[in-house]
Amino acid sequence: MVMKKSWGEKSFQIFNYTFLSIFAATMILPLIQLLAVSFSSPIAAESKKVFLFPVEFTLGTWKHILQNEVLWRSFGVTIFITVVGTFLSMLFTVLTAFPLSRREFLLKKPIMIAIVITMIFNAPMIPYFLTVRELGLMDSIWALIIPGLISTFNMIIVRTFFMGIPNDLDDAAKIDGCNDLRLLFQIYLPLSKPVLATIGLFYAVGYWNSFQAAVLFLRDQTLWPLQMRLRGFFLSPEALAEVNLVTGDYDFNTITLKAATIIFATVPIVLVYPYLQKYFVKGAVLGSLKE
């Protein structure tokens, strides 16, 4: 039997859908507009004739972008720090959260207090920079991974999720001779797919958008990640355009190149979300319920 919705419920539903649709449009329309600009002629882009559809369609901008070796090198660096960094961050986050979720671990409260303090008081910039320099990570790709290896917020989400797993599983596993590592990797982690997918997405997006660490620690431009390269192109558009008067190639300009570069840097990480969507909300909610 289908229950009739009250006028208030219908009104709230209409308002909710309308508000979320408008909010989604504010997120999606700028990307669509940039995509349209990237496929438009330079004259149409400069005269601001482009909105949601390309004007005077051309592939000149994308041909130039896809042939840019510097951009592809930065893309490779970003792929590396995203894949390797996400894996290492998830590994160390789980290894930190698991003992802190154990009821028999006597030092979990003072350690948790010390960890939570880092969320309130961030390390000052100069000591942070000096520490990384003394560790020998300057001009190293590991400077983009190691300093931010564990997120306190993500660790707390995983710890809270682990605390919600019934203790009966622990007792049964220990009776069968299971040690703590086997308990973690063979019982806890298979039950934790939602929260792992959630923090994995958080970490991946963070590494993909890595920018500050590159500004602070990298002088070697061959190690620049995509976001750092994008910043360089925006500060100096001619570095990206390389408009050659000898060849007379005018199928693009700095406006269309900026639009195409933003799409090039944004779309790959956006495409990951649909594959993790079914875990995302569940993991974030379950990981924040029990204290």
What pLDDT does residue 245 have?
39
Other beta carbons less than 10 A from residue 69's beta carbon:
7
Q: What pLDDT, on the 0 to 100 scale, is given for residue 287?
A: 46
What pLDDT is stored for residue 249 in this prediction? 54
Q: How far is CA 113 from CA 72, 84, 104, 174, 289, in A?
A: 43, 29, 17, 29, 19
Domain boundaries, the chain: 73-221
Give the pLDDT means over successive 10-residue stretches in the chain (291 positions): 67 86 87 87 81 83 82 90 93 91 84 86 83 88 89 89 81 77 84 85 88 86 85 68 48 79 84 69 51 44
pLDDT for residue 286: 53
Predicted local confidence at residue 291, as pLDDT: 44
Quote the pLDDT of residue 87: 94
CA 210, 216, 217 angle in degrees (round to 5)? 90
Dihedral of CA atoms 147, 194, 205, 266 in degrees, nearest 10, equals 170
According to the model, what pLDDT value does residue 132 have?
87
pLDDT of the residue at 8 = 74
Q: State the CB neighbour count (10 A cutoff) for residue 30.
A: 11
Q: Which CATH superfamily is domain 73-221 in?
A: MetI-like (1.10.3720.10)
The two three-digit tokens of residue 117, written as one number: 């303090």
